[in-house]
Amino acid sequence: MSDTERATMVPEINPRITAYVESGCYVCQKYFANASSLRTHMRVFHFTELPPRPSGRSRPHSVKYVWKSKKQPHRRTLMGCPSCWFHCPLSFTRIARHIKECHMDPDHEGYEDPIDENESNFDDENFMDSSAATANIYAAMESLTGKFNSLFR
Ligand SMILES: [Zn+2]
Ligand SMILES: [Zn+2]
* Amino acid of residue 144: L
Q: How do strand 17-25 and strand 30-32 relate by DSSP bridges?
A: antiparallel
Tell me: do 131 and 75 sit in the same domain.
no
Cα–Cα distance, 20 to 73 (Å, whole number): 9
Classified as helix, coil or strand, 89 is strand
Do 128 and 113 sit in the same domain of this protein? no
Distance 4 CA to ligand 2 centre (A): 36
What ligand is nearest to the CA atom of residue 92? Answer: 1
Report pLDDT digits (tens) over 14-64: 689 999 999 999 999 999 999 999 999 999 999 999 999 988 789 999 999
Q: Does the reported pTM lie above 0.75?
A: no
Ion ligand 1 — residues with CB < 5 Å: 25, 27-28
**Dist. CA 40 → ligand 1 center (Å):** 10
Is the same domain home to 133 and 117?
A: no
pLDDT band at 106 (very low <50, low <70, confident <90, very high): confident
- CA pair distance 54, 25, nearest whole angstrom: 20
DSSP reduced 3-state for 151: helix
User: Are 88 and 114 spatial neighbours (Cβ–Cβ below 8 Å)?
Assistant: yes
Could you tell me the distance, in angstroms and rounded to a whole number, from the CA of residue 84 to the centre of ligand 2? 4
Could you tell me if residue 5 is inside a domain?
A: no
Domain co-membership, 49 together with 115: yes
Q: Is residue 93 assigned to a domain? A: yes
Q: What is the residue range of 142's domain?
A: 123-153
